Chains A and B, each alone.
Chain A
Amino acid sequence: MMFMKVLYAFLVGGIICAIGQVLIDKTKLTPARILVLFVTTGAVLGALGIYEKIADFGGAGATIPLTGFGYTLTRGAFRDVDQYGLLGAFTGGVRAAAAGIAAAIFFGYLVSVASKSKAKR
Protein backbone atom coordinates (compact mmCIF):
# COMPACT_ATOMS: atom_id res chain seq x y z
CA MET A 1 0.00 0.00 0.00
CA MET A 2 2.76 2.40 0.98
CA PHE A 3 4.67 1.41 -2.17
CA MET A 4 1.69 2.05 -4.42
CA LYS A 5 1.29 5.50 -2.86
CA VAL A 6 4.89 6.31 -3.72
CA LEU A 7 4.43 5.06 -7.27
CA TYR A 8 1.29 7.14 -7.75
CA ALA A 9 3.10 10.19 -6.36
CA PHE A 10 5.86 9.65 -8.92
CA LEU A 11 3.42 9.32 -11.81
CA VAL A 12 1.13 12.22 -10.92
CA GLY A 13 3.98 14.56 -9.95
CA GLY A 14 5.91 13.59 -13.07
CA ILE A 15 2.94 14.25 -15.34
CA ILE A 16 2.26 17.68 -13.83
CA CYS A 17 5.92 18.65 -14.31
CA ALA A 18 5.92 17.23 -17.85
CA ILE A 19 2.96 19.47 -18.71
CA GLY A 20 4.98 22.41 -17.42
CA GLN A 21 7.92 21.44 -19.62
CA VAL A 22 5.79 21.22 -22.75
CA LEU A 23 4.44 24.69 -21.97
CA ILE A 24 7.96 26.10 -21.54
CA ASP A 25 9.29 24.57 -24.74
CA LYS A 26 6.26 25.21 -26.91
CA THR A 27 5.07 28.61 -25.74
CA LYS A 28 8.24 30.39 -24.56
CA LEU A 29 6.47 31.23 -21.30
CA THR A 30 9.00 32.32 -18.67
CA PRO A 31 9.30 30.26 -15.47
CA ALA A 32 7.57 33.02 -13.47
CA ARG A 33 4.54 32.83 -15.77
CA ILE A 34 4.49 29.04 -15.58
CA LEU A 35 4.44 29.21 -11.79
CA VAL A 36 1.60 31.75 -11.80
CA LEU A 37 -0.35 29.65 -14.27
CA PHE A 38 0.11 26.52 -12.17
CA VAL A 39 -0.84 28.04 -8.85
CA THR A 40 -3.95 29.64 -10.35
CA THR A 41 -4.93 26.43 -12.15
CA GLY A 42 -4.55 24.54 -8.88
CA ALA A 43 -6.78 27.04 -7.09
CA VAL A 44 -9.48 26.80 -9.75
CA LEU A 45 -9.35 23.00 -10.05
CA GLY A 46 -9.50 22.88 -6.26
CA ALA A 47 -12.63 25.03 -6.27
CA LEU A 48 -14.26 22.75 -8.83
CA GLY A 49 -13.57 19.72 -6.67
CA ILE A 50 -11.35 18.15 -9.33
CA TYR A 51 -8.01 18.60 -7.63
CA GLU A 52 -9.20 16.80 -4.53
CA LYS A 53 -9.60 13.64 -6.59
CA ILE A 54 -6.12 14.05 -8.07
CA ALA A 55 -4.69 14.58 -4.58
CA ASP A 56 -6.50 11.55 -3.16
CA PHE A 57 -4.92 9.44 -5.84
CA GLY A 58 -1.51 11.07 -6.25
CA GLY A 59 -0.76 12.14 -2.68
CA ALA A 60 2.45 14.19 -2.62
CA GLY A 61 2.53 13.93 -6.43
CA ALA A 62 -0.38 16.38 -6.40
CA THR A 63 0.46 18.46 -3.34
CA ILE A 64 4.20 19.07 -3.94
CA PRO A 65 3.83 20.74 -7.39
CA LEU A 66 2.70 24.35 -7.26
CA THR A 67 -0.78 23.39 -8.42
CA GLY A 68 -1.01 21.79 -4.98
CA PHE A 69 -0.15 25.12 -3.41
CA GLY A 70 -3.12 26.68 -5.22
CA TYR A 71 -5.28 23.77 -4.11
CA THR A 72 -4.19 24.25 -0.48
CA LEU A 73 -5.07 27.95 -0.66
CA THR A 74 -8.55 27.21 -2.03
CA ARG A 75 -9.24 24.40 0.41
CA GLY A 76 -8.27 26.71 3.27
CA ALA A 77 -10.55 29.44 1.97
CA PHE A 78 -13.50 27.03 1.74
CA ARG A 79 -12.86 25.64 5.21
CA ASP A 80 -12.72 29.09 6.78
CA VAL A 81 -15.83 30.21 4.90
CA ASP A 82 -17.64 27.24 6.41
CA GLN A 83 -16.46 28.31 9.83
CA TYR A 84 -16.42 32.11 9.77
CA GLY A 85 -18.55 33.11 6.80
CA LEU A 86 -17.40 35.65 4.22
CA LEU A 87 -14.39 36.68 6.31
CA GLY A 88 -13.08 33.16 5.83
CA ALA A 89 -12.47 33.82 2.12
CA PHE A 90 -9.78 36.24 3.25
CA THR A 91 -8.30 34.32 6.18
CA GLY A 92 -8.52 30.75 4.96
CA GLY A 93 -6.06 30.64 2.07
CA VAL A 94 -3.10 32.16 3.81
CA ARG A 95 -3.90 30.31 7.04
CA ALA A 96 -3.77 26.97 5.25
CA ALA A 97 -0.59 27.85 3.36
CA ALA A 98 1.05 29.68 6.26
CA ALA A 99 3.62 26.99 7.02
CA GLY A 100 4.86 26.92 3.43
CA ILE A 101 4.94 30.69 2.95
CA ALA A 102 6.65 31.36 6.28
CA ALA A 103 9.17 28.58 5.72
CA ALA A 104 9.98 29.90 2.25
CA ILE A 105 10.58 33.41 3.55
CA PHE A 106 12.54 32.34 6.62
CA PHE A 107 14.73 29.66 5.04
CA GLY A 108 15.09 31.85 1.97
CA TYR A 109 16.48 34.62 4.12
CA LEU A 110 18.79 32.38 6.12
CA VAL A 111 20.21 30.63 3.09
CA SER A 112 20.74 33.80 1.10
CA VAL A 113 22.54 35.43 4.01
CA ALA A 114 24.76 32.37 4.45
CA SER A 115 25.63 31.67 0.80
CA LYS A 116 26.86 33.33 -2.39
CA SER A 117 25.90 33.16 -6.04
CA LYS A 118 28.41 31.15 -8.00
CA ALA A 119 29.43 31.95 -11.56
CA LYS A 120 28.41 29.57 -14.30
CA ARG A 121 30.81 28.38 -16.97
Chain B
Amino acid sequence: MAGKRLGNQTVRLETPPRIISTASIAGPKEGEGPLGHTFDLVLEDELWGEKTWEKAESKIVRETWSRILEKSGKAPEDINYIIAGDLLNQCIATTFGLRESSAPYLGVYGACSTMCESLSIGAMLVDGGFADNVVCLTSSHFCSAEKQFRFPLELGTQRAPTAQWTVLGCGAVLVSSHGQGPAITHVTTGKIVDKGIKDANNMGGAMAPAAADTIVSHFKDTGFTPDYYDLVLTGDLGIVGKAICDEMVGEQGFNISKKLKDCGLMIYDLNKQDVHAGASGCACSATVFAGHIYKEMLEGRIKKLLLVATGALLNPTSTQQGETIPSIAHAVTIEA
Protein backbone atom coordinates (compact mmCIF):
# COMPACT_ATOMS: atom_id res chain seq x y z
CA MET B 1 0.00 0.00 0.00
CA ALA B 2 1.14 3.49 -0.80
CA GLY B 3 2.99 4.93 2.18
CA LYS B 4 0.58 7.71 2.99
CA ARG B 5 -2.57 5.61 2.98
CA LEU B 6 -4.47 4.59 6.08
CA GLY B 7 -7.15 1.96 5.62
CA ASN B 8 -9.46 1.94 2.65
CA GLN B 9 -10.44 5.56 2.19
CA THR B 10 -8.06 7.78 4.10
CA VAL B 11 -4.65 9.38 3.51
CA ARG B 12 -2.43 11.00 6.11
CA LEU B 13 -0.59 14.06 4.87
CA GLU B 14 3.06 13.92 5.93
CA THR B 15 3.73 17.61 5.73
CA PRO B 16 0.26 18.96 6.41
CA PRO B 17 -0.52 21.91 4.14
CA ARG B 18 -1.73 25.08 5.82
CA ILE B 19 -4.87 27.03 5.13
CA ILE B 20 -3.32 30.47 5.01
CA SER B 21 -6.27 32.49 3.84
CA THR B 22 -10.00 32.30 3.08
CA ALA B 23 -12.51 34.56 1.36
CA SER B 24 -16.29 34.53 1.27
CA ILE B 25 -19.09 36.44 -0.38
CA ALA B 26 -22.72 35.81 0.58
CA GLY B 27 -26.17 36.95 -0.47
CA PRO B 28 -28.64 39.18 1.35
CA LYS B 29 -30.54 36.36 3.04
CA GLU B 30 -27.29 34.81 4.26
CA GLY B 31 -26.24 38.27 5.45
CA GLU B 32 -29.36 38.50 7.60
CA GLY B 33 -28.56 35.15 9.20
CA PRO B 34 -26.61 34.56 12.41
CA LEU B 35 -23.28 34.30 10.52
CA GLY B 36 -23.86 37.43 8.44
CA HIS B 37 -21.00 39.33 10.08
CA THR B 38 -18.45 36.60 9.27
CA PHE B 39 -18.49 36.98 5.49
CA ASP B 40 -16.10 39.30 3.69
CA LEU B 41 -18.91 40.80 1.68
CA VAL B 42 -22.68 40.59 1.88
CA LEU B 43 -24.52 41.47 -1.31
CA GLU B 44 -27.45 43.84 -1.28
CA ASP B 45 -29.29 42.07 -4.07
CA GLU B 46 -29.19 38.72 -5.79
CA LEU B 47 -28.32 39.99 -9.28
CA TRP B 48 -25.43 42.23 -8.23
CA GLY B 49 -25.92 44.45 -11.27
CA GLU B 50 -25.90 41.53 -13.73
CA LYS B 51 -28.63 40.57 -16.19
CA THR B 52 -29.07 36.91 -15.25
CA TRP B 53 -28.75 34.71 -12.15
CA GLU B 54 -26.00 32.76 -13.91
CA LYS B 55 -23.97 35.89 -14.65
CA ALA B 56 -24.47 37.01 -11.07
CA GLU B 57 -23.11 33.71 -9.74
CA SER B 58 -20.08 33.98 -12.03
CA LYS B 59 -19.43 37.50 -10.81
CA ILE B 60 -19.52 36.24 -7.23
CA VAL B 61 -16.93 33.60 -8.16
CA ARG B 62 -14.75 36.18 -9.91
CA GLU B 63 -14.88 38.58 -6.98
CA THR B 64 -14.19 35.85 -4.42
CA TRP B 65 -11.13 34.83 -6.41
CA SER B 66 -9.92 38.47 -6.46
CA ARG B 67 -10.51 38.77 -2.76
CA ILE B 68 -8.53 35.73 -1.75
CA LEU B 69 -5.58 36.96 -3.82
CA GLU B 70 -5.90 40.36 -2.23
CA LYS B 71 -6.22 39.01 1.32
CA SER B 72 -3.27 36.65 0.97
CA GLY B 73 -1.11 39.07 -1.00
CA LYS B 74 -0.61 36.50 -3.77
CA ALA B 75 -0.45 37.17 -7.48
CA PRO B 76 -2.34 34.88 -9.91
CA GLU B 77 1.05 33.44 -11.01
CA ASP B 78 1.66 32.28 -7.43
CA ILE B 79 -1.36 29.99 -7.59
CA ASN B 80 -0.43 26.59 -9.04
CA TYR B 81 -4.00 25.29 -9.25
CA ILE B 82 -7.52 26.49 -8.78
CA ILE B 83 -9.78 23.55 -7.95
CA ALA B 84 -13.37 24.67 -8.16
CA GLY B 85 -16.93 23.78 -9.04
CA ASP B 86 -20.58 24.70 -8.64
CA LEU B 87 -24.07 23.28 -9.24
CA LEU B 88 -24.91 24.60 -12.70
CA ASN B 89 -24.70 22.34 -15.74
CA GLN B 90 -21.09 21.75 -16.75
CA CYS B 91 -20.03 24.05 -13.88
CA ILE B 92 -20.49 27.21 -15.93
CA ALA B 93 -20.71 29.53 -12.94
CA THR B 94 -17.15 28.60 -12.03
CA THR B 95 -15.60 28.47 -15.48
CA PHE B 96 -17.20 31.72 -16.61
CA GLY B 97 -16.25 33.36 -13.32
CA LEU B 98 -12.64 32.21 -13.61
CA ARG B 99 -12.19 32.92 -17.33
CA GLU B 100 -9.75 35.72 -16.63
CA SER B 101 -8.06 34.10 -13.65
CA SER B 102 -4.96 33.02 -15.63
CA ALA B 103 -4.12 30.19 -13.26
CA PRO B 104 -4.16 26.44 -13.97
CA TYR B 105 -7.70 25.22 -13.35
CA LEU B 106 -9.22 21.88 -12.41
CA GLY B 107 -13.01 21.79 -12.50
CA VAL B 108 -14.65 19.37 -10.06
CA TYR B 109 -18.23 18.31 -9.42
CA GLY B 110 -19.36 16.78 -6.16
CA ALA B 111 -22.65 18.67 -5.84
CA CYS B 112 -22.71 20.19 -2.35
CA SER B 113 -19.68 18.11 -1.31
CA THR B 114 -17.50 20.04 -3.76
CA MET B 115 -15.76 22.14 -1.09
CA CYS B 116 -14.30 19.09 0.62
CA GLU B 117 -13.56 17.40 -2.70
CA SER B 118 -11.50 20.38 -3.81
CA LEU B 119 -9.83 20.69 -0.39
CA SER B 120 -8.94 16.98 -0.51
CA ILE B 121 -7.35 17.21 -3.94
CA GLY B 122 -5.68 20.53 -3.13
CA ALA B 123 -4.17 19.25 0.10
CA MET B 124 -2.87 16.10 -1.57
CA LEU B 125 -1.31 18.12 -4.40
CA VAL B 126 0.49 20.34 -1.92
CA ASP B 127 1.57 17.47 0.32
CA GLY B 128 2.71 15.51 -2.72
CA GLY B 129 5.03 18.33 -3.66
CA PHE B 130 3.15 19.18 -6.83
CA ALA B 131 2.03 22.62 -5.76
CA ASP B 132 2.83 25.38 -3.31
CA ASN B 133 -0.44 27.27 -3.46
CA VAL B 134 -3.85 25.89 -4.36
CA VAL B 135 -7.09 27.85 -4.26
CA CYS B 136 -10.16 25.70 -3.54
CA LEU B 137 -13.40 27.45 -4.35
CA THR B 138 -17.09 26.63 -4.71
CA SER B 139 -20.25 28.63 -5.32
CA SER B 140 -24.00 28.28 -5.48
CA HIS B 141 -26.87 30.67 -6.09
CA PHE B 142 -30.41 30.10 -4.86
CA CYS B 143 -32.06 31.52 -7.98
CA SER B 144 -29.92 29.76 -10.59
CA ALA B 145 -30.26 26.49 -8.67
CA GLU B 146 -34.06 26.78 -8.40
CA LYS B 147 -34.25 27.50 -12.11
CA GLN B 148 -32.16 24.48 -13.02
CA PHE B 149 -33.31 21.93 -10.45
CA ARG B 150 -36.85 22.91 -9.48
CA PHE B 151 -39.42 25.45 -10.60
CA PRO B 152 -39.45 29.01 -11.95
CA LEU B 153 -39.22 31.50 -9.08
CA GLU B 154 -42.58 33.10 -9.87
CA LEU B 155 -44.49 29.80 -9.92
CA GLY B 156 -46.92 29.77 -7.00
CA THR B 157 -45.93 26.53 -5.28
CA GLN B 158 -45.31 25.52 -1.69
CA ARG B 159 -41.95 24.14 -0.59
CA ALA B 160 -42.04 20.81 1.22
CA PRO B 161 -41.26 20.91 4.95
CA THR B 162 -38.17 18.78 4.25
CA ALA B 163 -36.91 21.11 1.48
CA GLN B 164 -33.66 22.99 2.00
CA TRP B 165 -32.68 26.46 0.86
CA THR B 166 -29.72 26.79 -1.54
CA VAL B 167 -27.12 29.20 -0.19
CA LEU B 168 -26.24 32.16 -2.38
CA GLY B 169 -22.55 32.72 -2.08
CA CYS B 170 -19.01 31.61 -2.73
CA GLY B 171 -16.22 30.49 -0.44
CA ALA B 172 -12.53 30.17 -1.28
CA VAL B 173 -9.72 28.59 0.68
CA LEU B 174 -5.99 28.97 -0.01
CA VAL B 175 -4.06 25.79 0.78
CA SER B 176 -0.34 26.36 0.95
CA SER B 177 2.98 24.62 1.62
CA HIS B 178 4.26 27.62 3.57
CA GLY B 179 2.70 30.08 5.94
CA GLN B 180 0.57 30.24 9.01
CA GLY B 181 -2.87 28.79 9.60
CA PRO B 182 -4.69 25.58 10.47
CA ALA B 183 -3.33 22.47 8.77
CA ILE B 184 -5.05 19.74 6.79
CA THR B 185 -3.77 16.49 8.26
CA HIS B 186 -6.08 13.77 6.94
CA VAL B 187 -8.30 13.28 3.93
CA THR B 188 -11.08 10.68 3.82
CA THR B 189 -12.64 10.28 0.40
CA GLY B 190 -16.26 9.16 0.35
CA LYS B 191 -17.89 6.34 -1.57
CA ILE B 192 -21.11 6.78 -3.48
CA VAL B 193 -23.92 5.66 -1.19
CA ASP B 194 -27.54 5.25 -2.29
CA LYS B 195 -30.16 4.11 0.18
CA GLY B 196 -33.04 4.45 -2.24
CA ILE B 197 -34.43 7.91 -1.47
CA LYS B 198 -36.21 9.36 -4.52
CA ASP B 199 -37.65 12.54 -3.07
CA ALA B 200 -35.55 15.46 -4.36
CA ASN B 201 -37.19 17.58 -1.67
CA ASN B 202 -35.56 15.48 1.03
CA MET B 203 -31.87 15.63 0.24
CA GLY B 204 -30.84 15.49 3.89
CA GLY B 205 -32.48 12.07 4.13
CA ALA B 206 -30.71 10.97 0.95
CA MET B 207 -27.27 12.22 2.00
CA ALA B 208 -27.21 11.16 5.66
CA PRO B 209 -26.08 7.55 4.99
CA ALA B 210 -23.19 8.85 2.85
CA ALA B 211 -22.11 11.23 5.61
CA ALA B 212 -22.36 8.47 8.22
CA ASP B 213 -20.40 6.07 6.01
CA THR B 214 -17.56 8.53 5.50
CA ILE B 215 -17.41 9.54 9.18
CA VAL B 216 -17.32 5.91 10.35
CA SER B 217 -14.70 5.01 7.72
CA HIS B 218 -12.63 7.98 8.86
CA PHE B 219 -12.66 6.80 12.48
CA LYS B 220 -11.87 3.22 11.48
CA ASP B 221 -9.07 4.18 9.07
CA THR B 222 -7.35 6.64 11.40
CA GLY B 223 -8.07 5.00 14.73
CA PHE B 224 -9.39 8.33 16.00
CA THR B 225 -12.45 8.47 18.23
CA PRO B 226 -15.00 11.29 18.39
CA ASP B 227 -13.09 12.56 21.47
CA TYR B 228 -10.22 13.53 19.21
CA TYR B 229 -12.31 16.30 17.67
CA ASP B 230 -13.76 19.55 18.98
CA LEU B 231 -16.24 19.58 16.15
CA VAL B 232 -17.56 17.23 13.48
CA LEU B 233 -19.09 19.58 10.95
CA THR B 234 -21.29 18.24 8.15
CA GLY B 235 -22.07 20.31 5.07
CA ASP B 236 -25.79 20.52 4.45
CA LEU B 237 -27.69 17.64 6.01
CA GLY B 238 -30.35 19.90 7.49
CA ILE B 239 -32.68 18.90 10.32
CA VAL B 240 -33.66 15.50 8.92
CA GLY B 241 -30.25 14.44 7.66
CA LYS B 242 -28.34 15.50 10.75
CA ALA B 243 -30.56 13.48 13.07
CA ILE B 244 -30.26 10.39 10.87
CA CYS B 245 -26.49 10.76 10.46
CA ASP B 246 -26.05 11.12 14.22
CA GLU B 247 -28.03 7.94 14.82
CA MET B 248 -26.27 5.96 12.08
CA VAL B 249 -22.77 6.85 13.30
CA GLY B 250 -23.84 6.21 16.88
CA GLU B 251 -25.14 2.71 16.22
CA GLN B 252 -21.76 1.79 14.72
CA GLY B 253 -20.05 2.58 17.99
CA PHE B 254 -19.02 6.21 17.60
CA ASN B 255 -21.05 8.67 19.65
CA ILE B 256 -20.74 12.04 17.93
CA SER B 257 -23.95 13.60 19.29
CA LYS B 258 -22.10 16.23 21.31
CA LYS B 259 -19.61 17.04 18.57
CA LEU B 260 -21.89 17.10 15.55
CA LYS B 261 -23.00 20.34 13.91
CA ASP B 262 -24.28 21.03 10.42
CA CYS B 263 -23.42 24.10 8.31
CA GLY B 264 -26.94 23.86 6.90
CA LEU B 265 -28.34 24.57 10.35
CA MET B 266 -25.93 27.41 11.15
CA ILE B 267 -26.13 29.86 8.28
CA TYR B 268 -29.82 30.77 8.63
CA ASP B 269 -32.00 31.43 11.64
CA LEU B 270 -34.43 28.54 11.24
CA ASN B 271 -37.03 30.18 13.45
CA LYS B 272 -37.08 33.52 11.68
CA GLN B 273 -35.94 32.78 8.15
CA ASP B 274 -38.26 30.68 6.05
CA VAL B 275 -35.89 27.92 4.98
CA HIS B 276 -37.77 24.82 6.20
CA ALA B 277 -35.22 22.02 6.92
CA GLY B 278 -32.08 24.17 6.62
CA ALA B 279 -29.58 25.28 4.01
CA SER B 280 -27.92 23.44 1.15
CA GLY B 281 -25.72 24.16 -1.85
CA CYS B 282 -21.99 24.09 -2.58
CA ALA B 283 -21.64 27.49 -0.94
CA CYS B 284 -23.16 26.28 2.32
CA SER B 285 -20.11 24.51 3.75
CA ALA B 286 -17.80 26.79 1.73
CA THR B 287 -19.01 30.08 3.18
CA VAL B 288 -19.55 28.74 6.70
CA PHE B 289 -16.02 27.34 6.76
CA ALA B 290 -14.35 30.29 5.02
CA GLY B 291 -16.16 32.75 7.28
CA HIS B 292 -17.17 31.64 10.75
CA ILE B 293 -15.22 28.40 11.25
CA TYR B 294 -11.88 29.67 9.94
CA LYS B 295 -12.06 32.62 12.35
CA GLU B 296 -12.88 30.27 15.23
CA MET B 297 -9.83 28.18 14.38
CA LEU B 298 -7.51 31.18 14.07
CA GLU B 299 -8.71 32.42 17.45
CA GLY B 300 -8.21 29.01 19.01
CA ARG B 301 -11.81 28.22 19.90
CA ILE B 302 -11.84 25.21 17.59
CA LYS B 303 -8.61 23.22 17.50
CA LYS B 304 -9.54 19.98 15.80
CA LEU B 305 -12.18 19.85 13.13
CA LEU B 306 -13.56 17.12 10.91
CA LEU B 307 -15.22 18.88 8.00
CA VAL B 308 -17.59 16.59 6.10
CA ALA B 309 -19.24 18.20 3.09
CA THR B 310 -22.16 16.22 1.70
CA GLY B 311 -23.50 16.04 -1.85
CA ALA B 312 -26.64 14.69 -3.53
CA LEU B 313 -25.54 13.55 -6.97
CA LEU B 314 -28.85 13.90 -8.78
CA ASN B 315 -29.87 15.95 -11.76
CA PRO B 316 -33.28 17.04 -13.09
CA THR B 317 -33.35 14.25 -15.68
CA SER B 318 -32.61 11.52 -13.14
CA THR B 319 -35.32 12.92 -10.87
CA GLN B 320 -37.88 12.95 -13.68
CA GLN B 321 -36.95 9.40 -14.58
CA GLY B 322 -37.73 8.33 -11.03
CA GLU B 323 -34.15 7.41 -10.13
CA THR B 324 -32.96 7.25 -6.55
CA ILE B 325 -30.44 9.82 -5.31
CA PRO B 326 -26.80 8.67 -5.12
CA SER B 327 -25.00 10.65 -2.45
CA ILE B 328 -21.47 11.28 -1.29
CA ALA B 329 -19.54 12.86 1.55
CA HIS B 330 -15.86 13.80 1.73
CA ALA B 331 -14.04 14.52 4.98
CA VAL B 332 -10.90 16.46 5.82
CA THR B 333 -9.27 16.81 9.22
CA ILE B 334 -8.20 20.38 9.93
CA GLU B 335 -6.08 21.10 13.00
CA ALA B 336 -5.14 24.50 14.36
Contact = CB atoms under 8 A, between A and B. Distances in A.
A100 interface: no
Contact of B153 (A24, A31, A120): A120
Contacts of A28: 160, 199, 201
**In which size bucket is the chain A interface?**
under 10
Interface string B30-64: 00100000000000011100000100000000000
Given A24-B158, A28-B199, A117 B153 contact: yes
A116 B149 CA distance: 19
A119 interface: yes
Nearest to A118: B153
Nearest to A120: B153
A119 B154 CA distance: 9
Main SS of chain B's interface residues? Answer: loop
B142 A120 contact: yes
Contacts, number: 27
A31 to B, nearest CB: 5
A120 B143 CA distance: 8
Contacts of A121: 28-29, 32
B316 interface: no
A31 B201 CA distance: 14
Interface string B130-142: 0000000000001
B267 to A, nearest CB: 13
B157 A31 contact: yes
Nearest to B275: A121
B323 to A, nearest CB: 16
Interface in B175-222: 199, 201
A31 B156 CA distance: 9
B21 to A, nearest CB: 30
B281 to A, nearest CB: 14
A119 B155 CA distance: 12
Interface string A78-121: 00000000000000000000000000000000000000011111
3 closest A-B pairs by CB: A119-B46, A121-B29, A117-B153
Interface of A: 24, 28, 31, 117-121
27 contacts: A24-B158, A28-B160, A28-B199, A28-B201, A31-B151, A31-B155, A31-B157, A117-B143, A117-B152, A117-B153, A117-B154, A118-B153, A118-B154, A119-B45, A119-B46, A119-B47, A119-B53, A119-B142, A119-B143, A119-B153, A120-B142, A120-B143, A120-B146, A120-B153, A121-B28, A121-B29, A121-B32
